[in-house]
A = this chain, B = another copy of it.
Amino acid sequence: MTTYTKADRAPLTERQEARRRRILRATTQLAARGGYESVQMREVAELSEVALGTLYRYFPSKVHLLVATMYDQLDQLHAQLRRRPPRSANSRERVVDTLLRAFKGMQREPHLTEAMMRALQFADRSVGAEVDTVSRETTTMILEAISGDEPAAEPTAEDLAVIRVITHTWHSSLIAWLNGRASIAQVRTDIETVCRLIPED
């Protein structure tokens, strides 16, 4: 069993780590207030007390910054899920529970969610690595929900395909809700619908 370490990055000095945290905190704060367009690079720099150039050295674009923020938030969610994992009897239910719980959290900070999701969807090739990181973390979370207490078998290609489809639905559906094109009930329905792809156990 591997330990879950932070994503590998070039090693940072303490002050650098602190700067990085300040930047992410400022981003979260601004995003929570007004969503994607309220995250303005100059404001992030000012609020985190860092020069604009430095901000760009840490995160090479606004999208990188927001995807990193997403990873950060996802990490917190993941930790929370490990503390109190869903307790339903079958894997399908556990996945639905997991996603609905995540959704509930996101409803509490719709602007923040919007900012992160927009960035994630808008990301192009240059953000590939970071998006993959988020994607892997999401996959892990769903896999853990599927396995429950069990030893967590190696996922098959089929499993991974299903998880990809679930993730796709999860993201698009969330965006539709954030844009007022889908109701909360619809998001829930979509999640339940797509989770029917998980074989009963």
- Residues of chain A at the chain B interface (Cβ within 8 Å): 36, 118, 121-125, 128, 131-132, 135, 161-162, 164-165, 167-169, 171-173, 175-176, 179-182, 186, 189-190, 193-194, 196-197
- In angstroms, Cα B128 to Cα A121, docked, is 17
- In angstroms, Cα B164 to Cα A186, docked, is 10
Q: Name 21 interchain pairs, CB-CB below 8 A, sorted by A.
A: A118-B124, A121-B172, A121-B175, A122-B122, A124-B179, A125-B180, A128-B179, A128-B181, A161-B190, A161-B193, A162-B193, A165-B193, A167-B172, A168-B168, A168-B172, A169-B169, A169-B172, A171-B172, A193-B197, A194-B194, A194-B197
- In angstroms, Cα B57 to Cα A141, docked, is 46
Q: Which residue in chain B gives the minimum CB-CB distance to A189?
A: B161
Complex contact A169–B179 (CB within 8 A): no
Query: Copy number of this protein in the oligomer?
Result: 2
Q: What is the CB-to-nearest-CB distance from A57 to chain B, in angstroms, rounded to a whole number? A: 23
